[in-house]
Structure 1
Amino acid sequence: MALCRGCRVGDRSCRFGADLFDATSPEEGVAFVQCPADFDGGPEVAHGGWIAGVFDDVLGRFLAHRGVKSVTATLSVSFLMPVPVARPLVLRTRILSREGRRITMAGALRLEGEHQDRATAEGVWVERRPDHFERHRAQMSADRPETP
């Protein structure tokens, strides 16, 4: 699976540890991830921000793997059980529906070999228009205060 721009530019592996990915069907995929120890949010437990970030990254990259360039519109995460750091995890992705450019997806995070979800996520990704980043840059420039 292709890396996001941040990791590609940095010439490194995925910062979320999501380097191994397999599309199991046109609508589903699985990523093998591991929370780095430096994302420890409690004693040997993954920080919630890492969990949300890995869902955002993997679900969005699944769409990219399917040829859909998208941005995240919404993401809701349910933290069900502690997610340990430095242990192999499995993140399953699934496309739930598509309406025009809006794609609803779900994900589930488990310890490798377990059958109980430790966290789940659902969100909406929007297929980008070709001028997405140009419009974004123009808005950011307009929002900058003038320098004397």
Structure 2
Amino acid sequence: MAEPFDPDGFTIEPSASGRLLCGGCAPEDACRLGVEFAGVQDGALRCDVTCARSWQGGPDVAHGGWIAAVFDDVLSMAALRTEPRLVTRSLEVSYLRPVPVERALTVLARMDDHAEGRWEVSARMSLATTGPALATARAELRTRRPDHYARHADWLARQPMSPNGFDTEG
């Protein structure tokens, strides 16, 4: 008999190819956002990424949601190497210039501060490692409580469903 799945036992560990991937990308061993770990540069985690045309928000420019998702992924990666049980508490993105689709981009992420389960990280997205910033981000990450996902499942089970099947506000 198989062990029951424990969602709170979930951690992000290196995949078979050595990548740190979210729960949605890990089964395919490939990041759906296109993020590839490229090493460390001047003390910052460096990731290479290209926005696929399918993430286009306007003519030849990346959707802001794709940019935010890439930052969330890379900022988490900066801390995941030392803490595999993280969740994002807050994410702030500054969109400085349009981010082009189908062009090689670099994201550099740094650990700014860490104390008692709280991680502050920042990142910069550019066309090249030395090019001007296209967008920047800051995030606060937290070490996940042991019952994080169980508490969420309990809360969600208590929320009423609307007649059309979508969750109501609450």
Q: Same fold (TM over 0.5)?
A: yes
CA distance in 2: counterparts of 1:143 and 1:102, whole angstroms: 29
1:51-103 CA-partner distances (Å, limit 9, x unpaired): 01100011112222233421111111000111111111100001111231111
Q: 1:83 to 1:76 in 2, by over 3 A?
A: same
| Contact 1:80 1:117 (8 Å CA) reproduced | yes
Corresponding position of 2:90: 74
1:33 lines up with 2:49 in the alignment: yes
Corresponding position of 1:102: 118
Corresponding position of 1:19: 36
Corresponding position of 1:60: 76
1:131 lines up with 2:140 in the alignment: no
| Contact 2:79 2:119 (8 Å CA) reproduced | no
1:7 lines up with 2:25 in the alignment: yes
Greater fraction of residues in helix: 1
CA distance in 1: counterparts of 2:130 and 2:78, whole angstroms: 22
Corresponding position of 1:47: 63
Alignment of 1:107-126 (within 5 A): 107-126=123-142
Two-structure CA RMSD over aligned residues (Å): 2.1
Residue ranges of structure 2 left out of the alignment (5+ in a row): 1-18, 162-170
CA distance in 2: counterparts of 1:80 and 1:126, whole angstroms: 27
Name the larger-Rg structure: 2
1:94-134 CA-partner distances (Å, limit 9, x unpaired): 11112311111100000125421000001100111222112
1:10-59 CA-partner distances (Å, limit 9, x unpaired): x252111012342457x631111111111111111111111011000111
- SS at 1:6 equivalent: coil
Q: 1:127 to 1:24 in 2, by over 3 A?
A: farther
Give the length in aligned residue pairs.
145
CA distance in 2: counterparts of 1:69 and 1:21, whole angstroms: 22
**Counterpart amino acid of residue 17 in structure 1:** G
